[in-house]
Structure 1
């Protein structure tokens, strides 16, 4: 069986035709254009014409998603006009194929849990440290997602510091305001350090202020992981996203911080998949049906 996995981002849409052995028969990217649904349907139909043996379609997208209905409950201005779109219903009518839709962080987590860094574990929390903080939770092969507002597992908007730094969601002190790539840039600016995030890690051995900032970042990340452990009692945490590309410089510090915070030891790993995680995870949404 072959399926089509689609990863919808703010600037590009990645599509892959994948079989049950996870062999990739097509992997292509197209620019994200608007109105989004119309362009998405057009691109998917183009793929189906070339690959008529595709039986199902899995989609991972930015935004709050009602995964049962396959509906985008809310998306930011990153995807204008996407909020409220009945993706599953419309695509099934247009293609005659079974369609499943979920949040992009959830499908990336599914890829790591099924065939990536956490494939040996049953309960996994994946943290994507990018522009914001994405989260995906896989418990005993079940994706924690959906909810009446599509907001389950929106880890980035849990509160770390009440009345802390303002977040675009409207709250203050959210997780993602302290451990995302954007948060690192803000910490550097507030400390008046002349570094990019990558340069910060490279200079930590020579610059005491840089090391202090990294210690604060890893402390906050350790507190977040500890809080999630108390909620989900996971076997493994997988850390992905752009910030994870520099993990060799701060991972040991994080593990030291975790020793003081965890209720029980857990394994913490760096994600195996990069940009392809969304497409592979979207494929797995329907390969598992």
Structure 2
């Protein structure tokens, strides 16, 4: 089978990779996210197609609520200004002559981990991506739970965690991503009067009581999110990815401690195996498998 192009669109960067049927990354590159986004995306896709004529199809994982049937962004916060309403599939297929499939970025991470990573062989898996926001992907009986009439299925970061809490980019108060994400960690650090980065926070928590308190509040809220999801999905595993997961060895013990009394049943918690590659691999699977 010919190779495919996997594209992972985030708020600050876009990763693109040429991937074969076995999930091997043959070529990859990273470019900054530039607004207006669509013309820039098309220009770079056409450039890579010219370099790699072996590409047969294109899979796109993007920030935002996505209608996968139409391949259209239903809603994207101001992280990607002007991206709401973009018919990516229609426009890219017209520009390239290739088949294009589009999904939410956290959903494609779930696909990658289920096919090639930590969740191989499992049927019910929840993936949480802790980056700028809190993304969610749900594998339900081996199928991706996605779409919905407004493209909002499995938008786990927008479940309300604290009613009337911190205002989210979506306009509502108290969404989970305002407490469990890289952005949330930076706010918590500032509110605690600390002047350190999130990675440094986890290091300092070993000896600094103020840093330890911030970490424990963060892991408590993450445990709340996971326990609520277990009640809804009874999953076999939770996989945690995104930038915050890179320091998981420093906070996983705290999470497990907080989670233990909240769980209805035993639950495996794993760190995403692919880290930065999960987005392009999962996007590729949109056109390799379906």
| Distance in 2 (alpha carbons) for counterparts of 1:13 and 1:269 | 25
Instruction: Name the structure 1 match of 2:239.
Output: 238
SS of aligned partner of 1:85: coil
Per the alignment, do residues 43 and 208 of structure 1 end up closer, same or farther by CA in structure 2, a change over 3 Å counting?
Answer: closer
Report the equivalent of 2:16.
Answer: 15
Once the two structures are TM-superposed, the CA of residue 185 in structure 1 deviates from its matched residue by: 1.8
State the Cα distance separating 1:288 from its structure 2 match: 0.5
Q: Which whole-Å deviations, capped at 9, do the CAs of 1:158-185 have from their partners, x for residues lacking one?
A: 0111111221211111111111112122
Q: TM-score if structure 1 supplies the norm length? A: 0.94
Counterpart in 2 of 1:112? 113
Determine the structure 2 residue equivalent to 1:47. Answer: 48
Equivalent residue number for residue 186 of structure 1: 187
Structure 2 counterparts to residues 8-157 of structure 1, below 5 A: 8-157=9-158
How far is 1:194 from its partner? 4.0
> Which sits farther off after the overlay, 207-216 or 248-257?
207-216
Pair 1:256-2:267 in alignment: no
Structure 2: distance between partners of 1:179 and 1:102: 22
Deviation at 1:223, TM superposition (A): 1.1
> 1:113 deviation in Å?
1.7
The correspondence of residues 264-279 of structure 1 with structure 2, limited to 5 A, is 264-279=265-280
CA distance change for structure 1 residues 43 and 123 in 2, over 3 Å: closer, same or farther? Answer: same
CA distance in structure 1 between the partners assigned to 2:248 and 2:61 by the alignment:
26
Relative to the length of structure 2, the TM-score reads: 0.94
SS in 2 for 1:265: coil
SS of the aligned residue for 1:100 comes to strand
CA distance in 2: counterparts of 1:195 and 1:44, whole angstroms: 38
1:225 and 2:226 matched: yes
CA contact (8 A) 2:202 2:247 kept: yes
Distance in 2, matches of 1:15 and 1:35, equals: 18
Distance 1:215 1:30, change over 3 A: closer
SS of the aligned residue for 1:275 comes to helix
Deviations 1:249-278 (A, max 9, x none): 111111111110011001001111122211
* Shift in alpha-carbon separation, 1:214–1:30, aligned structure 2, 3 A: closer
Q: Structure 2, unaligned stretches of length 5 or more?
A: none
Whether the 8 Å contact between 2:77 and 2:169 is mirrored in structure 1 is no
